[in-house]
Amino acid sequence: MSQEASPVAPAIPHFELATQWQLIKNDVESAIKEVLESQQYTSGAVSGPFIGRFEANLSKFLNAHAIALSSGTDAILAALMALGIKRGHEVITTPFTFFATAGCISRSGAKPVFIDIDPNTFLMNLAAIGPAVTRNTRAILPVHLFGQMMDTAALLEFADAHHLDVIEDAAQCIGAVDPKGKQVAENARCACLSFYPTKNLGAAGDAGALVTRDEKLATRFMQTRQHGEVTRYHHEFVGGNFRMDALQAAVLNAKLDYLPQWTERRRQIAAYYTRRFKGTDVKPPVEIAGSKHVYHQYVIRAPRRDHLRDHLTKQGIGCNIFYPKCLHLQQCFADLGYKKGQFPMAERATQEVLALPVYPELTDAQIERIATTVLAFYRR
Ligand SMILES: *Cc1c(COP(=O)(O)O)cnc(C)c1O
């Protein structure tokens, strides 16, 4: 056996920010310096200069009122609180999502009601909503998972017929449009965004936003982020401290300009993978006709998923399972009484999905190596 080690290709992490930092360093450093020198660190029911600037630019980008908040989780909780959703109410959502979606419903006092997903898209199955509606249902909380929006017109039509609010969990889909070309908050009361550092638009820490086309609701959201304060020290309802830091707003404002080009690169990488995986054992994600998927995650269905994951890890390629456990089976929701096997499509997805690297800074050589390494596993 040769003693010479074969040259090991450098590892490709599932996600990294170091390459991006080189691109944005100057913009972000001067934005941060401006905040520090002004010492205008925060704002309340009325936005200060840095929050205001970011909100104005985000509003333009999304064609709706944007209210800067402390995190994506807080955006969901603030939306539920602002819309008066509380104990005794039910909110219908998906069990195949990040925990915050259902965690916030629970924290509002309402009961999360889960329905199964569409196995093609991993999105909430519209046809399953009807049977889940009861006298207590107040809202539907769809998740535009992995960066793809569900058909919001169909959802809104159903919601209107049943007098339900639609609150979109848009944490993963900034910049996406749905199959009929609609943006977030266009066919919903509001949409919740997250700027967690790994999201398509990431802050330097925690941040989020609420987006709505309803001006009155926008005002209510601003009050909600400042403890329900309507005029200084007069609280008409209970909100929270859901404010975004000015430092985060400045960072996000500097990065927002890059988002369209980053999104295009994500879509380009995804299109490349999908071409490579066509007709193989790997099932690429389905992009719904007409919709613009922004590929927060590129999630395949993979036979022998855990073995593929080990193979990629050994080859220095980062990958991740989103999500390994459905929310209806989480211990904290045991009292809701859901059983294993109740949502077979969502449960099956947890066994088969694997997210490959799709961040915009990946080079052509890297994505070529990733696709080739995945396919080589099935050819052995
Ligand atoms: C990230 C995320 C959230 C929560 O956002 P944070 O900013 O991390 O609080 C909620 N829902 C989904 C689907 C997410 O991906």
How many angstroms separate the alpha carbon of residue 98 from the centre of ligand 1?
6
Helix (H) or strand (E) holding 34: helix 18-38
What residues form DSSP beta bridges with 90?
A: 111, 137
Rg (CA), the chain: 21
304 CA → ligand 1 middle, Å:
28
The end-to-end CA distance of the chain, in Å, is 22
Probe target for ligand 1 pocket from 174, 194, 320, with the most ligand atoms within 8 Å of CB: 194
Counting ligand 1 atoms within 8 A of each CB, the residue from 123, 172, 192, 206 with the most, and so the one to mutate, is: 172
Contact yes or no for 370/12 (Cβ under 8 A): yes
**pLDDT per position as a tens digit, 352-361:** 999 999 999 9
pLDDT digits (tens, 9 = 90+) for 119-147: 999 999 999 999 999 999 999 999 999 99
The predicted-structure confidence for 230-260, as pLDDT tens digits, reads as follows 999 999 999 999 999 999 999 999 999 999 9
The pLDDT of residue 37 is: 96
pLDDT band at residue 9, thresholds of 50, 70 and 90? confident
Residue nearest to atom 13 of ligand 1 (CA): 98
Residue 1 pLDDT > 50: no
**Do β-strands 208-212 and 298-301 pair in parallel, antiparallel, or remain unpaired?**
unpaired
pLDDT at 117 over 50: yes
Smallest CA separation from ligand 1 atom 10, residue: 100
CA distance 63 to 327: 32
Ligand 1, residue 208: give the atom nearest the CA.
Answer: 7
Question: How far apart, in Å, are the Cα atoms of 258 and each of 61, 66, 181, 191?
Answer: 12, 18, 22, 22
Strand pairing class (229-231; 234-235): antiparallel
Is the overall model pTM greater than 0.95, yes or no?
A: yes
Residue type, position 1, single letter: M
Where are any strands of DSSP class E within the chain?
65-69, 90-93, 111-114, 137-141, 165-169, 190-194, 208-212, 229-231, 234-235, 298-301, 353-356
Which pLDDT tens digit goes with each residue over 253-283? 999 999 999 999 999 999 999 999 999 999 9
